[in-house]
Amino acid sequence: MKLKDLGEFNFINRIGRKIKLSGRVIKGIGDDAAVLKYTRDKYLLFTTDMLIEGKHFNEDDKAGLVGAKSLSCNISDIAAMGGVPKFAVCSVGLPDSLDLKYADELYEGIKKIAQRFEVDLVGGDTVCSKKIVINIALIGEVEKENLTLRSGAKGNDIIFITGNIGGSIKFRHLNFTPRFKEARFLVKNFKINSMIDVSDGLLADLGHILKESNKGAAICEKTIPLSKYAAGFDSAVRDGEDFELVFTLSERYADRLENMWPFKTRLSKIGRILNGRKGFTLVRKSEKSERIKPAGFTHF
Amino acid sequence: MKLKDLGEFNFINRIGRKIKLSGRVIKGIGDDAAVLKYTRDKYLLFTTDMLIEGKHFNEDDKAGLVGAKSLSCNISDIAAMGGVPKFAVCSVGLPDSLDLKYADELYEGIKKIAQRFEVDLVGGDTVCSKKIVINIALIGEVEKENLTLRSGAKGNDIIFITGNIGGSIKFRHLNFTPRFKEARFLVKNFKINSMIDVSDGLLADLGHILKESNKGAAICEKTIPLSKYAAGFDSAVRDGEDFELVFTLSERYADRLENMWPFKTRLSKIGRILNGRKGFTLVRKSEKSERIKPAGFTHF
């Protein structure tokens, strides 16, 4: 059996199903970041992302943007837990035929994001590789009361999304701002029941919230904010790498959030968490409802 | 200018020379692991290593050994700081034509080492890649009084090495035991002034201690313990991936250490730290001295 025959093969989740963890681990594999015991008031967060040339970026993409993306997607994971990014280590595999200028621009891209989000770049590894590979691992912190998991969605919660989705591959996947300040505003001012960042596509990632929370959801086509790059609704909800936040909170606070929202970043109500029926109900623009499968970006 | 024209190009050290870090960082790029503020009594350690098929292992190497190596070399880094490994995240790039069996054996290899050294594997990333790539990032802890840097070597310190060196490429680089228990014994019972693990070759890594400590060293050919796989002295001291510990302590305690040493792992005195002249003096078996350059494993 080959990996491609398995449909979606997720090595890390496969590990996660089998592994026994110590009592120091609050949440292991299966959220945007691991949650680890730390101080009396805070948890440590720990996440990692690998970018490979030809898959997450192309050889003619600007090196500075590639570097920026490699750190930004990790910051997005820490933000989706309600946390603050702190320390990063960076491994790079580079071809020996690569121009020094490219390597320096890659680094400048990482540094720019590190400075902007006050992340200390404290270590790493350099190896020789045919294709460019960049792996960043990021440690963050979160106050215990601000920790936001995928698993906390409650029936009747309103589902929100930041920004616009779809077509990120055309440009924005290399030039996005992780929704760190939005996430911190949310967790500090509201009881956010569940949150995730959209890396595998809205349907797949909201699907993770539903699965972890053991809930269903109804979402409305007409309320879902499409980017100008989106090819259409059905692809936009399956495109990966939007790096927007999807979160749920009690409907009691939904209006207050919309009134208080202080950012230029768009905020949209896109549906509701359902207690009963699992999976998605999609209300089309025609008002017809249909059941849909949470398929998104697949690794294989 | 291409990377290969630079001789040794180390992307991470290049970053390390330019970057400003916050006060939360005790030691950033430039030791076996980063040292970060943590609790009143302890520091957090943070390290990462990337292994690439064709460079650090071959496609016919056993997957279980490759997995074991990917975590073990990180544990070796934490050990070389005097610390205890705690939490790991693992990114893997795998070809879609790969056999599921290979992926599972890779995982079993990682898990075996994680269990043996009580490391929690708490997260990761799976991507599709032409060549197999494995990146592990590891968080450890160290009591403040046990932290051992490269920079602490003192004049007249005796230089020790664990195990045997050389020729690890023939077998042992895929099947070594990180010297964790030896390192913990050392830091708990002795004032170890400096320590590093041998990943780039003895001369290169002891060279890092000399450079960071601003010292020189005299080492004796006849005292350096060669592995049965070593092709000869001159290559053995330049071979990489021995994953043995090189450390220095005051000559006052050197005999006591040799008498107390409770492990089967060989322990050898190989030379002495010198205050004056920088770099290495090598005392050949013929008793002739020569000056040597600390060249080791190069990344490009």
Q: Are residues B225 and B121 located together in one domain of the fold?
A: no
Tell whether the model's pLDDT for residue A297 goes beyond 70.
no
For B11, name the nearest residue in chain A, comparing CA atoms only.
A126
Q: Please tell me which residue, A18 or B93, carries the higher pLDDT value.
A: B93
On whether any CB of chain A is under 8 Å from the CB of B40, the answer is no
Neighbours of B50 (CB within 10 A): 28
Which amino acid makes up residue A180? F
Q: Does the CB of A132 have a partner CB in chain B at under 8 Å? A: no
Partners of residue A92 in chain B, C-beta under 8 Å? 11-12, 50
Backbone phi, then psi, for B152, in 5-degree steps?
A: -100, 5
Residues B127 and B185 in one domain: no
Q: CB of A134 within 8 A of CB of A106?
A: yes
Determine how many CB atoms are found less than 10 A away from the CB of residue B227.
18
Q: Is the dihedral of CA A228, A234, A239, A243 positive or negative?
A: positive
Amino acid A300: pLDDT = 53
Phi, psi of B44 (to 5 degrees): -90, 140
- Of the candidates B28, B93, B299, the beta carbon closest to that of A127 is on B299
Residue B116 near residue B122 (C-beta atoms within 8 A): no
Residue A50 is assigned to a structural domain of this protein: yes
Closest to B80 (Cα-Cα) out of B269, B300, B247, B281: B247
Do B161 and B68 reside in the same domain of the chain? no
Greatest Cα pair distance, chain B, in angstroms, is 58
Task: Tell me if chain B has a CB within 8 Å of the CB of A40.
Answer: no
B16 CB neighbour count, 10 Å cutoff: 17
Q: For residue B217, which of B208, B226, B225 has the smallest C-alpha distance? A: B208
Q: How far is CA B180 from the centre of its chain?
A: 11
Residue pLDDT, tens place only, A194-232 = 999 999 899 999 999 999 999 999 999 999 999 999 999
pLDDT of residue A7: 67
| Domain containing residue A283 | 148-292
Structure tokens at B100: 């599921």
Judged by average pLDDT, the poorest of A251-255, B84-88, B198-202 is: B198-202
Contacts of A1 in chain B (CB under 8 A): 99-101
Given a contact cutoff of 8 angstroms between Cβ atoms, the answer to whether B91 and B125 are in contact is yes
Number of structural domains found in chain B:
2
Least confident of A128-137, A163-172, B176-185: A163-172
pLDDT at position A145, please?
A: 98
> Which whole number is the average pLDDT over A232-247?
92
Task: Say how far apart CA A226 and CA B221 lie, in whole Å.
Answer: 69
What is the C-alpha to C-alpha distance for residues B215 and B210, in angstroms, rounded to an integer?
A: 5
ipTM of the predicted structure? 0.94
- In this structure, the answer to whether residues A120 and A152 fall within a common structural domain is no
Count of helices and strands (H, E) across chain A = 7, 13
> Which pLDDT score, from 0 to 100, does residue A11 have?
76
Q: Do residue B138 and residue B158 come from a single domain?
A: no
Among residues B145, B176, B198, which one ends one of the domains?
Answer: B145
Question: In terms of pLDDT, which residue wins out, B13 or B212?
Answer: B212
Q: Are residues B212 and B271 in the same domain?
A: yes
3-state DSSP helix/strand/coil % of chain A, to nearest 5:
35, 30, 35
CA angle A286, A290, A291 (to 5 degrees): 160
Confidence of residue B99 (pLDDT cuts 50, 70, 90): very high
Q: Would strands A216-220 and A133-143 be described as parallel, antiparallel, or unpaired?
A: unpaired
Alpha carbons A92 and A70: distance in angstroms, whole number: 10
Q: Distance between CA B242 and CA B202 in Å, rounded?
A: 8
Q: Is residue A297 part of a domain?
A: no
Question: Do residues B29 and B89 share a domain?
Answer: yes
The CATH number that applies at residue B16 is: 3.30.1330.10
Residue A117 lies in a domain: yes
Q: Which residues contact A45 (CB under 8 A, 6 or more apart)?
A: A33, A34, A35, A36, A78, A81, A83, A139, A140, A141, A142
Shortest CA distance to A157 belongs to which of A49, A47, A270? A270
Residue B208 lies in a domain: yes
Residue B9, pLDDT score? 65
Give the A window 136-195 contacts with B, CB below 8 Å: 137, 139
A269 and A219 in one domain?
yes
In a domain, B72, yes or no: yes
Per-residue pLDDT reduced to its tens digit, B33-80: 999 999 999 999 999 999 999 989 998 999 999 999 999 999 999 999
Pairing relationship of beta strands A25-27 and A42-52 according to DSSP bridges: unpaired
Q: Is the pLDDT of residue B11 over 60?
A: yes
Is position A300 within any domain?
A: no
Where is pLDDT greater, at A295 or A128? A128
My answer on whether B29 and B52 are in the same domain is yes
Provide the phi-psi class of A14: left if phi over 0, else alpha when psi is between -120 and 50, else beta. alpha
Same domain, residue pair A154 and A35? no
pLDDT tens-digit map of A9-43: 677 777 777 788 999 999 999 999 999 999 999 99
Residue B17 has pLDDT above 90, yes or no: no
What does the radius of gyration of chain B's CA atoms come to, in whole angstroms? 19
Give me the residue label for tokens 């004056």.
B276
| A25, A131, A299 ranked by CB distance to B122: nearest | A25
Residue A294's pLDDT is: 64
Whether A17 and A137 map to the same domain: the answer is: yes
Looking up residue B247, the CATH number of its domain turns out to be 3.90.650.10
Cβ–Cβ gap A1/B94 under 8 Å: no
For the stretch B140-157, pLDDT in tens is 999 999 999 999 999 999
What does chain B come to in residues? Answer: 300
Res. A84 pLDDT band, cuts 50 70 90: very high
CA B215 to chain centre: 20
**Beta-carbon-side half-sphere exposure of residue B183 (alpha carbons within 13 Å):** 29
Interface contact A123-B300, CB threshold 8 A: no
Q: Give yes or no for residue A239 having a pLDDT over 90.
A: no
The per-residue pLDDT for A216 is: 95
What pTM was estimated for this model as a whole? 0.95
Closest by Cβ to A48, choosing from B33, B130, B137: B137
CA separation for the pair A211, B6 (Å, rounded): 51
With an 8 Å Cβ cutoff, is B1 touching chain A? Answer: yes
**pLDDT computed for residue B170 by the predictor:** 80
CB of B47 less than 8 A from some CB of A: yes
Mean pLDDT of chain B: 93
Residue B3 is predicted with a pLDDT of 85
Q: Which of A29, A98, A123 sits opposite B29 (nearest CB)?
A: A123
**pLDDT at residue B8 above 80?**
no
Task: Tell me the three state secondary structure of residue A50.
Answer: strand
Distance from CA of A199 to the nearest CA of B (A): 12
In a shared domain, residues A10 and A141: yes
Residue B300: band (very low, low, confident or very high) from pLDDT cuts 50, 70, 90: low
For the cut 80, the answer to whether the pLDDT of residue A120 exceeds it is yes
- Taking an 8 Å cut-off on Cβ atoms, the answer to whether A15 and B111 are in contact is yes
Structure tokens, B170: 């023939």
pLDDT band, residue B175 (cuts 50/70/90)? confident
A68-80 confidence digits (pLDDT tens): 999 999 999 999 9
Amino acid found at B67: G
How far apart, in whole angstroms, are the C-alpha atoms of residue A26 and residue A144? Answer: 11
Q: Give A173's pLDDT tier (boundaries 50, 70, 90).
A: confident
Structure tokens at B259: 């008498």
Mean residue pLDDT across chain A: 93
The domain boundary, picked from A145, A178, A193, lies at A145
Taking Cα atoms as reference points, which of B262, B67, B274, B81 lies closest to residue A15? B67
* Facing A3 at nearest CB: one of B86, B100, B300: B100
Answer with the one of B112, B145, B178 that is the final residue of a domain: B145
Split at pLDDT 50, 70, 90, the class of A168 is confident
- Confidence band for B240, pLDDT divided at 50, 70 and 90: confident
What average pLDDT score do residues A120-133 get? 94
